[in-house]
Amino acid sequence: MTVVPEMKVVVVGAGYAGMLAANRVARKVRAAEVTVVNPRPDFVERVRLHQRIAGTAAAVEPIASMLRDGVALEVGTVDRIGDGVVTLDDGTGLTFDWAFLAVGSTVRPMPGTVPVGSWEGAEQARTALAALPAGSAVTVVGGGPTGIETAAELAEARPDLRVRIVGSAVAGDFTERAHRKVRDGLARLGVEAVDGHVVRTTESAVHLRSGVALASDLTLWAIVSGVPGLATRSGLTVDGDGRMAVDASLRSVDDERLFAIGDCAAVPGARFACALAGPQAVRAVDNLRRLLAGRTPAPYTPRYVARAVTLGRRGAVAQFTRRDDSLRRSHLAGRGGVMLKELASRGGKFGARTGIGG
């Protein structure tokens, strides 16, 4: 436990990275007064939003029930951060000695589609699905993990619908053997997989670059891209995607009181992943402790283990990777894959709740 004179720490964003950071500071830095700011009073388990849509998980829990005693929650949206002040969009200002930017990533849905990767989008999709009669066609756009998991979860939960997934290369980020397992798993659930580039969507159809038009009663956008504009708005240095520029220790290159963690941090070699958000939060908080103790902060390097997708509640494929995210030959399917993926999802929430991770 690091002991310092009274010190204010503000964490912006209560996702996987922000929650872990807030609880870890509260555990490890005595006398730190920690405040978390988030637009909603609930922690959204973003890796389960496809389950929320399909009705197989709630994917939310009150933030207050997950925060350690003494950590304050401020429900609001941060408009700017800088000069030792976090300013909310209602004009409220919170001063800080140290702050963690953890605002995650966003979705940029094509007009005519409903996004899967945000809470609001998931709720809209859930409502729209509930109103769809049997036999309706649902198209999921995005051939990556989010699209695969969404299409499979829906097909299993609503076998009365015709579910299709469209992406430039559906399950393209796997070895050939794992790719086949994913495609077979989708086919077993009745999901039609279409490799194609979507150029336009309307209320009733999805148009591909090849000229093909696919009839669709509901089109879901399962691609996560971009980050909230907070760092840009605040005049901080950002990369081409708007992620806040950090040094090797995850500290802002502009303001030494500021760390960025999770999807919104411009970490070389990092992709949007819950699997990285936790370790980044751990490293950033431990670096804060090092700084408070007069020691040199330690560098952070992303370390990957696997990319895993669920195929409904009873199937999964976990493709093992090297530390640098390049593919290994091995993968795990069936029950082993399901267990590994479930463990990873629970681990993210456990880290958020406890401040423990690595």
Q: Residues in the site for ligand FAD, rule: CB under 6 A?
A: 12-18, 37-39, 44, 46-47, 49-50, 77-78, 102-105, 116-117, 145-146, 149, 224, 228, 230, 262-263, 272-275, 277
> Which long-range CB contacts under 8 A does 231-237 form with residues at least 24 apart?
231/81, 231/101, 231/260, 231/264, 233/79, 233/80, 234/80, 234/81, 234/82, 235/82, 236/81, 236/82
Residue with smaller CB distance to ligand FAD, 16 or 320 = 16
User: Does residue 282 contact residue 24 with C-beta atoms inside 8 Å?
Assistant: yes
Contacts of 224 (CB under 8 A, 6+ apart): 105, 106, 107, 117, 146, 272
Minimum distance from residue 119 beta carbon to ligand FAD (Å): 7
Minimum distance from residue 182 beta carbon to ligand FAD (Å): 14
Residue with smaller CB distance to ligand FAD, 28 or 40 = 40
Minimum distance from residue 141 beta carbon to ligand FAD (Å): 13
Residue with smaller CB distance to ligand FAD, 149 or 217 = 149
Residue with smaller CB distance to ligand FAD, 104 or 185 = 104
Minimum distance from residue 275 beta carbon to ligand FAD (Å): 4
User: What is the separation of C-alpha 135 from the centre of its chain, rounded to a whole number of angstroms?
Assistant: 32
Residue with smaller CB distance to ligand FAD, 207 or 317 = 317
Q: Count CB neighbours of 282 within 10 A.
A: 21
Minimum distance from residue 280 beta carbon to ligand FAD (Å): 8
DSSP per residue over 46-70, as a string?
A: GGGHHHHHHTS---EEEGGGTSPTT
Residue with smaller CB distance to ligand FAD, 137 or 227 = 227
Minimum distance from residue 357 beta carbon to ligand FAD (Å): 12
- Chain residue whose CB lies nearest ligand FAD: 15
> Which long-range CB contacts under 8 A does 323-327 form with residues at least 24 apart?
324/269, 325/269, 325/271, 327/173, 327/174, 327/175
